[in-house]
Amino acid sequence: MSDEVLVEVADHVATITLNAPERMNTISGPMLETLSSELVAADRDPAVRAIVLTGAGRAFCAGLDLRAQSSGGGLAVGGNPGELELRDAPPIVLHNVDTPTICALNGGAAGYGMDLALGCDIRVAGESGKLAPAFAKRGVLPESGGTWLLPRLVGYAKAAEIAFTGRTLSAKECLELGLVNRVVADGELPDAARELALEIAANAPLAVRATKRMMRMAESETFEQNVHHVFLQLLPLFRSEDFKEGMAAFLEKRAPKFNGR
């Protein structure tokens, strides 16, 4: 495991911090493996109801560690040319976890780092935050979900302009495009992301996770298929202790206290 990924769990919120500020949190092989395993561990932990992903220092993540990549310490390359071992890579793990994820975008997110940021459910940016889709400027393409995520977030035409030009987007531009949910002062970013995570964590975790699953499945389902699957998700929720608590709290006009059962 790498010490370049830090994890702190408090008040049902797991904060995962990319911790290689000397190289702007570029992703090495060990760092990638640790990030994946920590995301999975947080998703499986019943005490965790929201995950905040951020970076130490002045950048969120400046992409892959190209020095490690050139020396064999980056992404693993399979037996066939161009075939990457990405099944357990963070962007794919991030897409599949049921726990809500929030990116606290401190500074730049470039290349692989941009895909990580886009892979989170919600993005809160500091004023110095920026997204740098510089793939075409480096002779590659968005390798970790960007070609799937970006058109769904901003529409095909805007995504094409962003990807084909590789122009860096400021926090303000990201907000105007809908790529981030809100922009706050840099010094307020940790608290703003945590407050949002705490608001999510105060809700019934089984219901929140089910909602996220159904939204994710809806990307590849018809309306009728999704409604059917939502109904199947409702049945166990109706039998849960959290449902009973939610109804009781509503009738008694008090804040609910959910236990995740």
CA–CA separation, 65 and 239 (whole Å): 48
pLDDT tier at 145, thresholds 50, 70, 90? confident
35-61 per-position pLDDT tens digit: 999 999 999 999 999 999 999 999 999
Residue appearing with tokens 């840099």: 186
Across the range 141-163, mean pLDDT stands at: 91
10-35 per-position pLDDT tens digit: 999 999 999 999 999 999 888 989 99
Quote the pTM value: 0.89
Closest CA to 146 of 176, 108, 178, 118: 118
Closest CA to 90 of 116, 54, 122: 116
Closest CA to 42 of 231, 197, 156: 197
210-248 per-position pLDDT tens digit: 999 999 999 999 999 999 999 999 999 999 999 999 999
How confident is the model at residue 190, as a pLDDT? 97
CA–CA separation, 122 and 193 (whole Å): 9
Residues 118, 70: contact at Cβ < 8 Å?
no
Task: Take residue 126 and report the two structure tokens written for it.
Answer: 């500091």
CA–CA separation, 50 and 98 (whole Å): 10
Torsion-angle region of 166 (φ positive above 0: left; ψ -120 to 50: alpha; else: beta): left
Residue appearing with tokens 């490690």: 68
How confident is the model at residue 138, as a pLDDT? 80
178 to 123, 154, 159: CA distances (angstroms): 10, 7, 12
pLDDT tier at 159, thresholds 50, 70, 90? very high
160-213 per-position pLDDT tens digit: 999 999 999 999 999 999 999 999 999 999 999 999 999 999 999 999 999 999
249-260 per-position pLDDT tens digit: 999 999 999 999
87 to 31, 33, 95, 184, 204: CA distances (angstroms): 16, 11, 11, 34, 30
62-100 per-position pLDDT tens digit: 988 866 555 554 454 444 433 345 556 788 899 999 999
Domains in the chain and their CATH numbers?
A: 5-201 (3.90.226.10), 205-252 (1.10.12)
Across the range 147-166, mean pLDDT stands at: 94
How confident is the model at residue 247, as a pLDDT? 95
209: number of Cβ within 10 Å: 18
141 Cβ contact list (under 8 Å, min separation 6): 135, 147
CA–CA separation, 256 and 238 (whole Å): 16
